[in-house]
Amino acid sequence: MHENRPRMRHGFELMLDAFPGSMHNLNAFAYFACRANDEETLAGLARRLDGDLHLDVWGSLSRRHLCLSRVH
């Protein structure tokens, strides 16, 4: 996944620019950042999520908690 990280990040940034109010896309970007071990990006996205978390993106509460606990 490492070699695709900049491309994926850019794609998420384009989606957020096109749909700035999409909490689903914001959650998906945060999930990707967690999987990519990009804690700087994850921390910024977690602040923007402000608790508005979509379980359908994260898959489980424990996964979401594990990811977000790394940056809080």
- pTM here is 0.88
Domain limits, the chain: 2-69
Distance CA 39, CA 19 (A): 23
Helix (H) or strand (E) holding 42: helix 39-49
12: tokens are 């998420």
Residue with tokens 């990707």: 32
Strand ranges, E, within 4-66: none
Residue with tokens 């896309």: 25
Q: What would the pLDDT profile of 15-71 be if each residue is shown by its tens digit?
A: 999 999 999 999 999 999 999 999 999 999 999 998 888 999 999 989 988 998 988
